[in-house]
Amino acid sequence: MASCSSHRVGRWWKHFVIILTPLVLLLPLLLIPDDKLPVKANQCLYVMLLMAVYWCTEVVSLPVTACIPIFMFPMLSILTTEEVCNQLMFGFMLPTWFLSMWISNTATTAMMLPICEAILDSLVALKQQKMAHRIETDTLNSINADKSDVETEVERKTTGDAKLDRFAKGMTLAVAYAANTGGRIDTLLDWTTIQNKIPWGIVFLMGGGFSIAKASEVSGLSDWIADGLMVMSDWPDWLMVLVICLITAFLTEITSNVATCTILMPIVSSLAEEL
């Protein structure tokens, strides 16, 4: 009977962690008074702890956890979607720059374009939804609003975006074919090889880490953490480095190196700025 129960717990523990962690983390944060920790910093700390638990336990894949800031930070009004996606864009640009040092620019671009295009399509859809919602809100708030004018405006915006999108694709294809006039463009690598050999998850992990760092700075969480760690300011440099290394080494025993670096880097960066 006991072995059967253990088997069930071992089978479903990831589901329990995914569901219970957001609820459990709310309890200690609700007990922190606003004069000790601002509301925005409190919310940012909640998201950061949630991602840390998911990263350490790996109940979901690390790249999926790194995408939590995309919807959590805008939902909590800590960062706008544009600011979060700027960090993700930097996460794309950095590995592209690094890869271009070792392989040709053409091969690097061919590898990065498919994933970038997929994310851009999602952002365009989100922008159109927000535009439609804003026009609907303006209509409800305006007594003299003309329904036909609003519908015309929505249609004009949608048609204009579609034309610009087609024009951008046409220009891209024109440049590509012009560079190889008279010849046929062959693929450098097939998609199966790219998908299996390229660690795309690193891109999302880097972007998620940059988003956490930016949100910590904007919400004031980094300052709050740095103030709490100012007790270390009187320590010798060698002792401070030793403590940080010991904490990092301990965390790497219970979680992955990537998750440990992503969690600790914003905190250590804030401490370094204060010192």
pLDDT at 87: 61
pLDDT given at position 217 = 75
pLDDT reported for residue 149: 52
- The reply to whether 16 falls in a domain is no
Global pTM reads 0.53
CA dist 228 and 224 (Å) reads: 6
Nearest Cα to Cα of residue 258 among 197, 208, 189 = 208
**Residue 21 maps to a domain:** no
Residue 265: its pLDDT value, please? 76
State the DSSP string of the chain: -HHHHHHHHHHHHHHHHHHHHHHHHHHHHHTS-TTTS-HHHHHHHHHHHHHHHHHHHTSS-HHHHHTHHHHHHHHTTSS-HHHHHHHHHHHHHHHHHHHHTTS-HHHHHHHHHHHHHHHHHHHHHHHHHHHHHHHHHHHHH-TT--HHHHHHHHHHHHHHHHHHHHHHHHHHHHHHHHTTTTS----SS-HHHHHHHS-THHHHHHHHHHHHHHHHHHHTHHHHHHHHTGGGGGS-HHHHHHHHHHHHHHHHHHS-HHHHHHHHHHHHHHHHHH-
**Integer distance in angstroms from the first to the last C-alpha of the chain?**
57
Comparing CA positions, the residue from 254, 237, 246, 260 lying closest to residue 271 is 237
Flag whether 4 is in a domain: no
In a domain, 263, yes or no: yes
The count of structural domains within the chain is: 1
Domain residues for the domain of 173 are 32-274
**How confident is the model at residue 225, as a pLDDT?**
73
Per-residue model confidence (pLDDT) at position 26: 83
Position 137 scores a pLDDT of 60
The answer to the question of residue 231 being in a domain is yes
Taking 50 as the pLDDT cut, the residues of the chain under it are: 2, 143, 145, 150, 167, 171, 174-183
In a domain? residue 24: no
Specify if 140 maps to a domain: yes
Q: What is the pLDDT of residue 145?
A: 47
**Residue 141 pLDDT:** 54
pLDDT at 187: 64
Structural domain includes residue 12: no
